[in-house]
Structure 1
Amino acid sequence: MKNLYSYIAVFLTISILSILLLYFLNRNIDSNEVKETSFSLQVKEKDSFWIYEIYNNNHLFISQEYIPAVQGKQVFKTKEDAEKIGKLVVRKLSTNRVPVISTDDLNTNNIYFDKI
């Protein structure tokens, strides 16, 4: 009988610790969501391609004319492509991460670029 109480106590302890861990992990994920930010995005047409500009407190912070992370001067062919990557950069900046874009980010967002 004493062993049964020991097992129940261990089970309850592990269950409570697991619930607390999940609570704090979920709370941390929610805090990464950006509600208010000093960064804003503008997507503009330039000649026959699209660029994005990121402003910090209404001051130009990044002007991206070419697709980042790819070789050569490849441009965004659609407004949607420029907007997707611009929003990703804003999310990274707003959560205090380095706004580096990788080819994996481009592939995940279905951004077309020539693989040279």
Structure 2
Amino acid sequence: MKKTKTRIFIASALFLMIVAVAITFIKRGHSYDLQVFRTGNGWGYDILKNNRVYIHQPFIPAIEGETPFSDRESARKTGRLVISKIRKREIPAVSKEEIDSILTGK
């Protein structure tokens, strides 16, 4: 009888440990971070995935030409939008309308 209780206790403890480890790994997923940087005449951003550059964006996306962001805040807002799309499993492309909204503050 005592051996049975001990075995049940050990099995229960192992099961709980396995569940705890599984939950930790499931919640962990990928870590995305944003770094805004100064370019020669403006601003850009990097999206980091697990501390490695995943997207390097030195220019405003969705507009013609190679124009950097004029201010740090616009680059930051655009980078945050891209991370939000990635986390929602959406295509991380930014539309002209989204850029216009960020740049005009609407």
CA distance in 2, matches of 1:81, 1:63: 15
Match of 1:66?
A: 59
Give the TM-score, by structure 1 length. 0.61
Q: 1:56 to 1:110 in 2, by over 3 A?
A: same
CA distance in 1, matches of 2:75, 2:104: 9
Match of 1:43?
A: 36
As a proportion of its length, which structure holds more helix? 2
Query: C-alpha offsets along residues 73-111 of structure 1, whole Å, 9 cap, x if unaligned?
Result: 111010011001000001001111110101110122235
Percent of paired sites with the same residue: 32
Give the TM-score, by structure 2 length. 0.67
Q: 1:105 aligns with which of 67, 76, 98?
A: 98
Moved over 3 A (4+): none
| Structure 1 gaps, min length 5 | 1-35
Offset, 1:44: 0.8
**Secondary structure at the residue paired with 2:36?**
strand
Match of 2:81?
A: 88
Q: 1:46 to 1:110 in 2, by over 3 A?
A: closer
Offset, 1:48: 2.3
Q: Cα RMSD (Å) of the superposition?
A: 1.8
